[in-house]
């Protein structure tokens, strides 16, 4: 689906054309196997990371494609609802976009969205999704608890009949935090990072129909396949490339308007708001969190992300610090409009 329906920069999707394509019909068929997956916890951390990155991006595209005529609005509540209620059943667990991001990929941390709750599951939103639970209501779940302690399978909601009788523990699926995931997750908004397919090295190709209860093909597709370590290190390279692409347009301006910051005044660095929302994730990579003190976290965040700036912007920040100049961070307005590819004609 990637080449035919994505814009060249990977940031926009031709949802109407995708909806009527054979590729999308084939993808829908593949998703029916997600409910019966096993062996996710046995994957390496990189394999799980690639799997959940791809699954998140695919779920967003899946939902927006089916509902392209009436996508979520840019309001905070509409978007909050979308991420909490758009779900796949994976290995017997009902996982929302919030669960995939904050539960599995962020080490089971709270969402930075103050409107978000740990778990809001409803089959009434996007009822056309064939992989959602039956339309009859099912209990609110705590797939991931409000604290950093993961909730095991017994606390998960009721599953469709096709789900495994004994789902694996979600504690075994959690991936150690890698803040670069924020440059790889595309939530369907215009200001999101580009959509890419992420790959990790495997333990060799898996052939045949089913292996250990896992439908062959779906996990390999989500994690990028790979034979016998062939892709070792590829995910690292891809995440580094995603980070550099994300910051490619970073501006460093001397207060007063001069680009490049070659004077002696205060420097202002303009960043995507994703860096503000997840500043604690980046700060954690620079020696731990600072108890919610915004200024200290922001400084640590900047120290972490400057490595991915274009050369001129990185040099301006580093030289400014050496000269003892104040470096301030400002955030660009975030465009929450749906990333629909403009059609010709």
Domain coordinates of the chain in residue numbers? Answer: 2-243, 249-331
Q: What is the largest CA-CA distance in the chain?
A: 67
Answer for the pair 119, 144: CB distance below 8 angstroms, yes or no.
yes
Q: Which single residue is written with the structure tokens 């070792």?
A: 232
Answer for the pair 159, 35: CB distance below 8 angstroms, yes or no.
yes
pLDDT per position in the chain (345 positions), as tens?
667 899 999 999 999 999 999 999 999 988 988 988 889 999 999 999 999 999 999 999 999 998 876 777 777 778 888 898 899 999 988 899 999 999 999 988 888 887 776 543 333 333 333 333 322 222 233 232 222 323 332 232 333 333 445 578 888 899 999 999 999 999 999 999 999 999 986 443 333 333 333 433 455 555 565 444 444 589 999 999 999 999 999 999 987 645 554 556 889 999 999 999 999 999 986 554 544 456 788 999 999 999 999 999 999 999 998 988 999 999 999 999 999 987 544
184: Cβ contacts below 8 Å, ≥ 6 apart = 53, 57, 193, 196, 198, 238, 239, 242
Answer for the pair 282, 179: CB distance below 8 angstroms, yes or no.
yes
Task: Classify residue 8 as exposed, middle or buried by CB count within 10 Å of its CB (0-12, 13-18, 19+).
Answer: exposed
Q: What is the DSSP letter of 154?
A: G
Answer for the pair 250, 311: CB distance below 8 angstroms, yes or no.
no
- For residues 61 and 14, what is the distance between their CA atoms, to the nearest angstrom? 10
Q: What is the pLDDT of residue 124?
A: 35
In our burial notation (b when 16+ CB lie closer than 10 A, e otherwise), range 163-174 reads bbeebbbbeebb
Using DSSP bridges, classify how beta strands 267-271 and 251-254 pair: parallel, antiparallel or unpaired.
Answer: antiparallel
The predicted model scores a pTM of: 0.78
Dihedral angle of Cα 72, 78, 80, 86, to the nearest 10 degrees: -40
Give, in degrees to the nearest 5, the angle at Cα 187 between 181 and 193. 55
- For residues 221 and 51, what is the distance between their CA atoms, to the nearest angstrom? 8
- For residues 85 and 343, what is the distance between their CA atoms, to the nearest angstrom? 29
């Amino acid at each position: 689906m990637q080449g035919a329906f994505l814009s060249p920069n990977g940031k926009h999707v031709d949802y109407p054309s995708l909806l009527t394509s054979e590729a999308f019909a084939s993808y829908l068929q593949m998703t029916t196997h997600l409910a019966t997956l096993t062996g996710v916890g046995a994957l390496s951390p990189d394999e799980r990371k690639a799997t959940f990155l791809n699954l998140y991006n695919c779920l967003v595209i899946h939902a927006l494609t089916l509902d392209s005529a009436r996508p979520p609005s840019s309001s905070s509540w509409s978007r909050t609802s979308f991420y909490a209620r758009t779900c796949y059943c994976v290995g017997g667990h009902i996982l929302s976009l919030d669960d995939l991001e904050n539960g599995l990929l962020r080490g089971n941390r709270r969402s930075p969205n103050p409107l978000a709750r740990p778990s809001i599951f409803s089959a009434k939103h996007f009822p056309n999704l064939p992989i959602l639970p039956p339309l009859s209501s099912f209990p609110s779940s705590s797939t991931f608890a409000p604290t950093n302690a993961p909730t095991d399978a017994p606390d998960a909601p009721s599953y469709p009949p096709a789900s495994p009788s004994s789902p694996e523990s979600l504690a075994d699926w959690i991936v150690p935090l890698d803040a670069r995931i924020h440059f790889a997750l595309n939530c369907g908004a215009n200001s999101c990072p580009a959509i890419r397919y992420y790959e990790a090295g495997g333990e060799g190709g898996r052939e045949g129909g089913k292996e250990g209860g896992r439908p062959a093909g779906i996990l390999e597709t989500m994690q990028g396949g790979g034979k016998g370590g062939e892709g070792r290190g590829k995910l690292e390279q891809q995440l580094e490339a995603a980070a550099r692409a994300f910051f490619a347009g970073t501006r460093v301006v001397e207060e007063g308007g001069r680009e490049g910051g070659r004077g002696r005044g205060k420097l202002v660095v303009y960043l995507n708001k994703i860096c503000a929302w997840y500043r604690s994730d980046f700060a954690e990579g620079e020696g731990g969190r600072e108890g919610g003190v915004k200024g200290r976290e922001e400084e640590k965040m900047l120290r972490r992300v400057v490595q991915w700036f274009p050369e001129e912007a990185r040099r301006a920040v580093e030289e400014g610090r050496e000269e003892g100049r104040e470096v301030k961070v400002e955030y660009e307005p975030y465009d929450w409009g749906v990333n629909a590819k403009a059609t010709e004609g």
